[in-house]
Amino acid sequence: MRRRFEHAPQFRLATELRDIRLGDPVAENEEDTLSTYFLATAAFQQVLASRATVFVGRKGSGKTANLLQAVEALRRDARNLVCVIKPIWYEWSSLTRLLTDYERRDSKGYMMQSLWKLLIYTEIARNAVEELAHRGPSVPRTDDEQAFVDFVDGPGRFVRGDFAVRLEDAVDRLLSGLAAEGIATQRVAISEALHNGDLRILREHLGRLLAARDRVSILIDNLDKGWVPGAALDSLATFLLGLLTSITDIASEFSRRDHRWREPVNVTLAVFLRSDIFAHVQRIAAEPDKIPVSRLTWANDESLAHVVEERFVVARGGTATGSELWSKFFAEEVDGRTTRDYIISRVLPRPRDMIVLTSAAIGSAIDRGHGRVESDDVLRGEAAYSRFAFDAIQAEDGGPDVRLEDVLFELAGQSSCVTGDSLQLACSRAGVSSDALPGVIVRLVQLGVLGVETVLGEFAYTDDERELQRNQALADRLARESDHPRRYQVHPAFRSFLEMVE
């Protein structure tokens, strides 16, 4: 009886540990419950407020979570019309034909911008007509609303198709009449297709229908679905560049008033794009500095910890505080650091990674019958997370020349700090040619796998193109002014799986 009484607190704690649910690390799978523990950062406020911005972040950095919460927040106000564009990248024959038939780079860029304008015009119209259809007969339609519905049911029925169908129609409209040679002549033809006929009438209807709205918000996601090894990445980058360079123009065009046919509409656009894809698009942009960009980063350790702490509080029914997750259910230290700080130090700075490692540590403790998460449970969780992080890199590696995992396997078992010569040797053994070598190293740095030594003993990690260039310059200077060779460091997230020496 005495022994049973002594073990009762541990049994209760183990039972409570099994009830902790930190949720799914993928935002799409948490759409119904995300709002209960979503962490509203400065980036989220910018999503709500921005006129036209590209939000760039790593896979798992919260792009889709921000989009889902922004949609929910904006739709609470009936004065807003919210349009979400999430293309399915399985049918791009129209895009391929467009790029094949229209080779001149300057005109191609103009064509891509115009193509996105057409797609967004029709997306707004499609959402507007669906909203009218769902409003019900109790609210009679105005004359402008009925005229709009009649147009969409007649000559404007092209707006009702899904994204792939409207893409095909938009390509047909823009390609028709472009047999004439010369960039200037072709641009005139594109402008005619964009601003005359049914499309001009559509813009006129949208102006009358939506001018009184507080806001028409366009949110675009899922642009990475076709970005896979073997895809025509340069063509896809050209297509995406057309979107990124047109969003400001689209917002500006809708803000214009023309008393003959055009009423102003307050249109805002938010595009969510993976950072490695954005870097590729930047490289082909003539004026990349003109693309309005906001980066989704989690450099603040407190914000990263709050991601799991908020989920814990919700799992406890709001009766606990975030700090209790660590003080009550985790060992105090791991490897000489507080458990909270240790976990933060071992993950890539993204919400998804923080959730995966913490959940894996809890799962280890439950499987082993522990009353709390012990330090070795955290290490077991780290091993599971490290495999997850390694596998996730493959989804972001769009390079056709070499598999990055082959390079990383060549580094397995070595020190986590590698010299430039050691890295080049690993690349050579993985089959990387001398011509491809610089690009492979850059990709490893952009993906957060490698940090660059910028100050003796300090390594900087970044996926920002400009910061990467700065860090490379600092590394070059350090190598010139010190006796140490150029060095890189493998991020802690990958070390456990690769069994690297710290």
Do 53 and 156 share a structural domain? Answer: yes
Residues 485/419, Cβ–Cβ less than 8 Å:
yes
**Which whole number is the average pLDDT over 402-406?**
82
Residues 418/441, Cβ–Cβ less than 8 Å:
no
What is the model's pLDDT at position 24? 83
Q: Does pLDDT of 430 surpass 70?
A: yes
Closest CA to 412 of 474, 490, 322, 327: 490
Quote the tokens at residue 173.
């409209």
Q: Does pLDDT of 366 surpass 50?
A: yes
Quote the tokens at residue 367.
């499987």
Q: What is the pLDDT of residues 51-96, one digit of tens each?
A: 788 999 988 888 988 999 999 999 999 999 999 988 776 555 556 5
Do 136 and 168 share a structural domain? Answer: yes
Residue 274: helix, strand or coil by DSSP? strand
What is the model's pLDDT at position 60? 87
The answer to the question of residue 32 being in a domain is: no
Q: Tell me how far CA of residue 438 lies from CA of 183, 430, 448, 450, in angstroms.
A: 36, 14, 16, 13
What is the model's pLDDT at position 2? 46
Among the candidates 396, 423, 458, a domain finishes at: 396
Range in 107-116, 157-166, 343-352 the model is least confident about? 107-116
Q: What is the pLDDT of residues 259-279, one digit of tens each?
A: 666 788 999 999 999 988 898
DSSP 501: B
DSSP notation for 119-142 = HHHHHHHHHHHHHHHHS-TTSPPP
Among the candidates 344, 366, 396, a domain finishes at: 396
Q: Does pLDDT of 9 surpass 60?
A: no
Owning domain of residue 52: 44-295
Count of structural domains, the chain:
3
**Which whole number is the average pLDDT over 352-380?**
95
Q: Does pLDDT of 172 surpass 90?
A: no
Q: What is the pLDDT of residues 285-336, one digit of tens each?
A: 888 888 888 888 887 888 899 999 999 998 888 888 999 999 999 999 999 9
Residue with the bigger pLDDT between 494 and 243: it is 494
Do 366 and 256 share a structural domain? Answer: no
Backbone φ and ψ for 184, nearest 5 degrees, come out as -60, -45
What is the model's pLDDT at position 4? 47
Range in 302-306, 335-339, 373-377 the model is least confident about? 302-306
Residue with the bigger pLDDT between 65 and 185: it is 65
Do 282 and 362 share a structural domain? Answer: no
Do 385 and 264 share a structural domain? Answer: no
Q: What is the pLDDT of residues 113-171, one digit of tens each?
A: 778 888 898 899 999 999 998 887 788 899 999 999 999 999 888 888 887 777 777 77
Residue with the bigger pLDDT between 341 and 34: it is 341
Q: What percent of the chain has pLDDT over 90?
A: 42
Do 83 and 223 share a structural domain? Answer: yes
399 vs 430: CA distance, rounded Å:
14
Closest CA to 21 of 276, 325, 230, 349: 325
363 vs 308: CA distance, rounded Å:
15
The answer to the question of residue 365 being in a domain is: yes
The answer to the question of residue 35 being in a domain is: no
The answer to the question of residue 274 being in a domain is: yes
Among the candidates 358, 373, 396, a domain finishes at: 396
128 vs 265: CA distance, rounded Å:
13
223 vs 250: CA distance, rounded Å:
19
Q: What is the pLDDT of residues 444-454, one digit of tens each?
A: 998 899 999 99
Q: Does pLDDT of 5 surpass 50?
A: no
Q: Does pLDDT of 347 surpass 60?
A: yes
272 vs 278: CA distance, rounded Å:
10
Residues 227/279, Cβ–Cβ less than 8 Å:
no
What is the model's pLDDT at position 439? 86
185 confidence band (pLDDT: 50, 70, 90): low
Do 178 and 132 share a structural domain? Answer: yes
Average pLDDT, the chain: 84
360 vs 454: CA distance, rounded Å:
33
